[in-house]
Structure 1
Amino acid sequence: MWMRMMTICLERVTRTIATAKLPVLFLLRGLAIDFAELPQYIWPSANTNFRSNSGHFSSRHHGRGGRQRYDDKLVADMKLGNNLETLSHKCPPLQEPCEIARLSRTADGSVFFDDRCLRRFRHGIFQEREADLNVGYANFVEKAEDADGFGDLLCCLRENNIPLDNIHFVTFRNNLNKIMGTAYNRSEPWEMGVHKRNHTVYLDVRKLPEAPLDERRRRMMYWGYAFERLATEHTTFEDSEFVDANAEYCALIRTKLGAHRIIMGAEMDCYDGIRNGKRQYIELKTSRVIDSRTVERFEKEKLLKFWIQSFIAGVPKIVCAYRDDSGFIKRVELMRTMEITQRVKERNLWQGGVCLAFADQVLCWLYGSVKENEDYLLRYNPQSDRLELRKADFCSPAISKHVSELN
């Protein structure tokens, strides 16, 4: 089974077609659920407001697409309020994530719809002590920002003849990470493109402007890639002259949160064999060594991000390397995704169910707010603590091409 929690959480959900503005759920009938066993979940409160309004929004730079123009019309907004006051024992169902396709991008940018770039996990990493993650830094090749990742994902769907008739959302996992994380993290702004075509909403990644990486931050970023290389089979620093961040493997996953069917692309670091016909993916992470003074912050912030990223895509394990400030590995820990929520339960730092219910609430509001063949920008504004949906006059060429080839 996918997991015990999801088994007891499953509801009878209507086969909501993608043309429905809002999903409708069946009432539970004859289903015995011990709600004391479930995590707590959030639903709309008296402090959660939905409204449509007009507003002002100036043009700005947005991620890879350069300058894109957005209308000054505020279509709808959602005031988040204090979600911790509205916890509920209601469990939004999450179907077991199912891999439906895959794609590989080689270092030279070539794309193949297979698993040639998927690496296997190397168990010897648990015996590594004092491994230097700085090795190879001088020859590090950073990921190109102009890579058409979403276009490749959509092309993969077409090549595999995957129907989208009843799919409500197509996105990269990163966008779902942002939404789920906002249940607790109200300090980080984000935005994404929203485009409804043929009753399916495409969520396009948008990167906010960032200051250029200084030498220290660039080196720390490299440590993550270096650990990924060290933790996978047939890769040592001696068998290649450099680490190239452009080579990657992406799994296309279908799932269902509440009544919304979702297809997401999720970059996978490696896998540890196949069990019951499923690849056992592993997320590889690095973090500064923790002690009694920093453990709470680590569990409150980093473990939340680790859990969201792995859980929503059905990744069962996370391997984290704890390194010192000079980039030397001190220890390596294996975490099971389903055990993380129990780890933070005693401190009451966060609850996974709150993130799921929050995302379900946002997706219901979003799908019911957008219109066919129209384009929007969805952004989270920490200052006003609200989600803003604004009219846009830009759609990614990759989405337009995808839709035209489907017709």
Structure 2
Amino acid sequence: MARFNTEIRRFDYPNSGLNQPEELGCFSLDINREFHDDNSQRKYFIKPSNYDDVRFDLTKGYEGMVKRDEFKDEQIDHLLKWINNHELGNMQTDFICRRGLLNRLMRTPYAKEDDWKFAVTLHKGTYYLCECPTDQSLATIKQMMGEKDEEMCGWGCKFEQYLTASSADSDPTPDLQYNNCENFYTVVKATIGSHTLVYSGEVDAVSTDGNFGEHYVEFKTMKHSALQRPGFKRYKLRNWWAQSVLVGVPEIVVGLRDDAGIVTKLQTYKTQDLPMMVGNNVPWKPNVCFNFLDQLLAFIKSNVTIDDPRLVHLLEFSGGDATCTRLTRDSEYTFLHEWYTHN
């Protein structure tokens, strides 16, 4: 078993950061979570005329909402299907994974309370990373299954419905039933340090308005009072920044709501400005996040050296050093399918 030291001071030095991610393609998931190699689920941001005077009822239409199975582990299957339909050889990448895993890893130096576990397989010279459920993550999902918590988790989907349409010249349709199953994903290629990565990330909408030209936009909701809490700069801004910067989303639109789920005001944040908003008492630094990920990827390359799609190394973190353990062939954590590896 190999160990990786996660102490913050090891990563607090200047870094080259992340290059602007290059979009390679996209795919969609329908209401049954079936894969489609197209942009059928892409939505467009329809900007309200007045950000300071809106009334979005996020509880509207919750009864009958179609919900995804939060306990179903989809691994990286959808991304593998997209790669199967395209020329992976032209991608020339070191790592393939989902954005969510990279987001979690980048936050690790400042989130020692969050456990993670992921499987690594080296196949034809490329490292595939697949996040695995932990006891902590499963307990969090179970906690969210309470009636009120589950409804609040659906508020983000309803918020998107108030702000998006299927085309740039259409109107939002918040009176229609909604679900959290349909999603649109971008597939990007990026570089961190000396490592190239191809990964997928869910995108909320496309904006055709503003100073960025046509660009992706992220939607969030939060309570009005949360803006004044210390945790806003320490946790929220860090999480929003990491999620958006990884797929090159320059703009985040936040709906400020009350306890009853009524949004009355919108606020826009530029992703590039979020690190500067934390003030002089800096609770987190982008360079630490990027340097941690850079060195962890180098650690993987040093410890996972056998090219075999049936062999998995398990990386785990639970508050201390991260560990890398080589498993037996065809273990329960094997995640690359024959339909992919035999192509």
Is the TM-score greater than 0.5? yes
Question: Partner of 2:312 in structure 1?
Answer: 375
Matches within 5 A, 1:20-59: none
| Secondary structure of residue in 2 paired with 1:137 | coil
Secondary structure of 1:124's match?
coil
The 3 A distance-change label for structure 1 pair 251 and 86 is: closer
Q: Report the alpha carbon displacement of residue 109 of structure 1 after superposing the two structures with TM.
A: 3.3
Q: Which amino acid aligns with 2:96?
A: V
Amino acid at match of 1:403: T
Tell me the alpha carbon deviations over residues 35-57 of structure 1, each in whole angstroms, 9 at most, x when there is no partner: xxxxxxxxxxxxxxxxxxxxxxx
Kindly provide the CA deviation profile for residues 371-404 of structure 1, in whole angstroms up to 9, marking residues without a partner as x.
222202211111xx11111223235454443121
TM-score by length of 1: 0.74
Tell me the TM-score normalized by structure 2.
Answer: 0.87
Q: Secondary structure at the match of 1:334?
A: strand
Following superposition of structure 1 onto structure 2, how do residues 222-301 of structure 1 map, counting pairs within 5 Å?
222-233=154-165, 234-238=171-175, 240=176, 242-273=177-208, 279-290=214-225, 293-294=228-229, 296-301=230-235
Q: CA deviation at 1:131?
A: 1.9
Q: Deviations over 1:36-85 (max 9, x none)?
A: xxxxxxxxxxxxxxxxxxxxxxxxxxxxxxxxxxxxxxx2111323x147
* Number of aligned positions between the proteins: 324
Please, what is the CA RMSD of the aligned residues?
2.3
* 1:115-165 deviations in Å (ceiling 9; x for gaps): 111000110173553321000111111123447462221121121223267
Residue ranges of structure 1 left out of the alignment (5+ in a row): 1-74
Residue 57 of structure 2: aligned partner: 132
In the alignment, structure 2 segments of 5+ residues that lack a partner are 166-170
**Structure 2 vs 1, CA of residues 315 and 291 (structure 1 numbering), >3 Å: closer, same or farther?**
closer
- Does 2:19 align with 1:95? yes
Q: Which amino acid aligns with 1:381?
A: S
The whole-number CA distance in structure 2 between the counterparts of 1:256 and 1:399 is: 27
Residues 180 and 400 of structure 1: CA distance in aligned 2, closer, same or farther (over 3 Å): farther
Q: CA deviation at 1:345?
A: 3.5
CA drift of 1:221 comes to: 0.2
2-side partners of 1:134 and 1:276: how far apart?
33
- Letter paired with 2:251: K
**Is 1:317 paired with 2:251?**
yes
State whether residues 375 and 394 of structure 1, in contact with CA within 8 Å, keep that contact through their aligned partners in structure 2: no
**Which of 255, 260, 285 matches 1:326?**
260
Secondary structure at 1:290 match in 2: helix
**Structure 1 partner of 2:272:** 338
Higher RCO structure (Cα 8 Å, ≥6 apart): 2
Cross-structure match for 2:117 = 191
Tell me which residue corresponds to 2:37: 113
Deviation at 1:93, TM superposition (A): 4.2
What is the SS of the residue equivalent to 1:271? Answer: strand
CA distance in 2, matches of 1:134, 1:160: 41
Partners in 2 of 1:195 and 1:278 — Cα distance?
A: 39
CA, structure 1 residues 204+332, in 2 after alignment: closer, same or farther (shift >3 Å)? same
Match of residue 182 from structure 1: 108
Judged with a 3 Å threshold, the aligned counterparts in structure 2 of structure 1 residues 99 and 293 are, in CA distance, closer, same or farther, namely closer
**Conservation of the 8 A alpha-carbon contact between 1:195 and 1:395:** no
